[in-house]
Amino acid sequence: MGAASSGSPLRADARRNADQIRRAAMDVFRDRGLTVPLEDVAAAAGVSKATIFNRFGGRVGLVEAVIDEVVAAELSRIVDRTRSIADAQEQMAYYVTAIRDLQYSRPAANDVLLQEFPHSPQLMAICHAAEEIDDELVAAGHASSTLRPEFTRDDLHALVVDNAIALKHGARPRRADYDRRTGFILEGIRAHKPSPA
């Protein structure tokens, strides 16, 4: 978008800078989220903040230029893998675990999930895809009676969003603690079959 395909070809130095900015943005966004000061991205790229505006028009343009590499690809990989699982119980377990893993290791994912850029159709599309699978999972869980019947799509969504907020604004827990808590969540939402008597 924007500068990528328009008008005359870039001069060599401009192209080089754009590449460096992209690379820096991937690193910095991945590790510190999509709301990191652009100045930090610029510093990591070895250019000045103004150059980012020259090449990408601003934060949104830059985010859209790298969001795929940063999280979108991984997110859709998770969605695909989830869909490929037959057993509803496993499916839900995989999805929740994988999403929470992504949220832990890729702060940028939380910014996407929290819809920090509501004006970017591209970013919103990613969110929408995630909402869709929530529906499927809950439906599958109910159909197979492996999910508590009162558990709703909104509950699953809230699970993810609340975790995003906690990771974004709170202290990052140790990995082992985080994973253990993922387990408690899964326990809490799964239907306990009345032990096949």
Residues lying near a second copy in the complex (CB under 8 A) are found at 148, 150-152, 154-155, 158, 161-163, 165-166, 168-170, 173, 177, 180-181, 183-189, 192, 195
User: Smallest distance, Å, CB 92 to a second copy?
Assistant: 13
Q: Using CB distances below 5 to 8 A depending on partner kind, what does residue 50 bind out of a second copy, DNA, none?
A: DNA
Question: How many whole angstroms separate alpha carbon 197 and alpha carbon 193?
Answer: 10
Q: Using CB distances below 5 to 8 A depending on partner kind, what does residue 181 bind out of DNA, a second copy, none?
A: a second copy
Q: Between 95 and 117, whose beta carbon lies closer to DNA? A: 117
Scanning residues 3 to 62, which ones bind DNA (CB under 7 A)? 8, 10-14, 17-18, 35, 37-39, 46-51, 53-55, 58-59
Spatial CA neighbour of 152 closest among 166, 144, 142, 164: 142
Q: Between 119 and 169, whose beta carbon lies closer to a second copy? A: 169
User: Smallest distance, Å, CB 20 to a second copy?
Assistant: 34
Question: How many whole angstroms separate alpha carbon 105 and alpha carbon 30?
Answer: 8
Question: How many whole angstroms separate alpha carbon 52 and alpha carbon 29?
Answer: 14
User: Smallest distance, Å, CB 100 to a second copy?
Assistant: 12
Q: Between 50 and 139, whose beta carbon lies closer to DNA? A: 50
Q: Between 51 and 76, whose beta carbon lies closer to DNA? A: 51
Q: Tokens at residue 136, please?
A: 């499927």
User: Smallest distance, Å, CB 168 to a second copy?
Assistant: 8
To 10 degrees, the CA torsion angle through 108, 102, 150, 139?
100
Question: How many whole angstroms separate alpha carbon 166 and alpha carbon 28?
Answer: 20
User: Smallest distance, Å, CB 191 to a second copy?
Assistant: 10
The answer to whether the CB of 130 falls within 8 A of the CB of 113 is yes
Alpha helices by DSSP H, the chain: 12-32, 38-45, 49-56, 59-67, 73-83, 88-105, 107-113, 121-143, 153-169, 175-189
Q: SS3 of 190, please?
A: strand
Where do contacts with DNA occur on this chain (CB under 7 A)? Answer: 8, 10-14, 17-18, 35, 37-39, 46-51, 53-55, 58-59
